[in-house]
Amino acid sequence: MLTSEDEIQIRNAVPEDAERIAEIEKQMWLITYPNEEFGISKEDIESKFDRALDRVEVLQDTLTYPDHRYLVAVANNKIVGYFHGISGLNENQVVETYVLPEFQGKNVGKKALDILFQWFGKEKSIFAEIAAYNTRSMNFFKSLGFVDAPGARRKETWNILPSGKEIPLMFMRKVMGSVQE
Ligand SMILES: CC(C)(COP(=O)(O)OP(=O)(O)OC[C@H]1O[C@@H](n2cnc3c(N)ncnc32)[C@H](O)[C@@H]1OP(=O)(O)O)[C@@H](O)C(=O)NCCC(=O)NCCS
């Protein structure tokens, strides 16, 4: 069934959503990150999730941290996407943005990030880490005023797979108080 844009609602996530968020996380990783050119295999990603047995419990906790904000997109009473932001001391960060394929391109991502941007406020810039081959996501962030921010801010671990392979990353930043805002 096709769902129109205004039938998709965005709300704050609650701990009871953790199981469904974890399900979407795995599903979207398997869709988004396998890449032949960079040697990122589906099996490696499967095994990352097989090892993360306590993922739901971790999410249930993280969802309640005051400096984290999780939003979910809901269509026909089912969660079809989620978004995660962290309010940082020096900079804010958009950590995860995932919308199931059949609900993409309906402005859900844009509406959810607008809510995160309001929560972040206008004082600090906003950072995002993106797989270097995820041009679709880069275009999405560009459309929201992010620009390339070359150079790693810190060594990350989320992109290291059980085999030791690393998903290559690129970095983007939205500078507040500029024309890009
Ligand atoms: C990236 C993602 C979160 C965007 O959410 P979405 O709901 O599909 O995006 P929206 O419909 O809100 O699009 C907002 C804007 O982004 C841009 N955009 C979205 N998808 C795009 C695409 N495939 N190519 C180019 N630009 C795109 C458009 O400019 C759009 O603005 P418009 O409405 O004026 O055309 C979603 O497509 C997704 O989950 N992708 C797969 C997983 C992923 O890569 N996540 C990001 C990990 S960092």
Tokens of 44: 């490696």
93 lines ligand 1 (CB under 6 A): no
Atom of ligand 1 nearest to the CA of 81: 39
Cβ(101) – ligand 1 distance below 6 Å: no
Domains, the chain: 5-174 (3.40.630.30)
Q: What is the pLDDT of residue 178?
A: 56
Contact by Cβ (8 Å): 97, 139 = no
Closest to 111 in 3D by CA, of 4, 5, 3: 5
pTM: 0.93
Look at residue 173 in the predicted model and tell me its pLDDT: 95
- Tell the residue nearest (CA) to atom 18 of ligand 1: 140
pLDDT in tens, the chain (181 residues): 667 887 999 999 999 999 999 999 999 999 999 999 999 999 999 999 998 889 999 999 999 999 999 999 999 999 999 999 999 999 999 999 999 999 999 999 999 999 999 999 999 999 999 999 999 999 999 999 999 998 766 678 899 999 999 999 999 999 987 554 4
The DSSP line for 154-180 is S--STTB-TTS-B--EEEEEE-TTSTT
